[in-house]
Amino acid sequence: MTKPVVFYYSRRKLGLYLLANIVLLALAGLFTWIIFPEYSIVYGYALITCAISLLASLIVFIFPMKLAVLDDEQIKIDHDEPISWSQIKDIEKEGVVCCGIDRSIIRLVPYKLANYHKSLMQRLTNSSRFGMFSIPLYAMDKKSAAQITKMIEEHVKSADVAKGRGKVGRPAKTTSTKAPAKDNKTAKTKTATAKSAAAKGKKAARPEKKASVAKKAPKQRKRVTKKRQTL
């Protein structure tokens, strides 16, 4: 068993998220102080919500969250319960529009999971395009996104080969290219008899044509003799 490979969210994108929360907090304080100077409830609510978002982004930036952990047996996404590679039916790459921007994800389509404990986020995203198991490639850098995509495809493929499935989620079709010997012999005899019957039919048809020509010839000669007599 190889050592588990851990993937994290991109530090640069987490830094941009932190910067956006700082700007949002400043704008919320400015606009609520200008528009609603006498309404302390609105002012406090806006500042508290933006401060909570800023604190969460700061914690995530200082202590990076694990996006996915992969090993030879299973994959774990975020804080959800891990799923084994043999339980994955298919892999789908999709583009999801979020905040007006097209973002790419990898969605893992599982078989029917009987005793799997779903988290609250998985229950919410199960009926959406993200599905219950999805990896946001847009939240990673390009190198990590390409690496995790390759590893997932290899692990699912090896699990399918171990279970005797040629393609993801579909049993391998074994087709024999060579036909049985008896069928070849019977096919050859049938073709030989068909060729001989066709040859006999052609030979029988040729004398009939000659006879018809011979019958037509005397009539033409009689007509010619009659014309000469009249002249």
- For the chain, the structural domain boundaries read 8-64, 66-169
From CA 51, how far away is CA 27, in angstroms rounded? 12
* Whole-structure pTM value: 0.58
pLDDT of residue 196: 61
Q: Of the given ranges (114-118, 120-124, 165-169, 225-229), which has the lowest mean pLDDT? A: 225-229
Q: What is the mean pLDDT of residues 182-210?
A: 53
From CA 108, how far away is CA 152, in angstroms rounded? 9
From CA 133, how far away is CA 121, in angstroms rounded? 10
Of the chain, the percentage scoring pLDDT greater than 70 comes to 67
Rounded alpha-carbon distances, angstroms, from residue 165 to 73, 90, 169, 176: 17, 12, 7, 17
| 66-169 CATH fold | PH-domain like (2.30.29)
Closest CA to 149 of 3, 2, 5: 5
Q: What is the mean pLDDT of residues 163-176?
A: 47
pLDDT reading at 5 higher than 70: yes
pLDDT of residue 55: 92
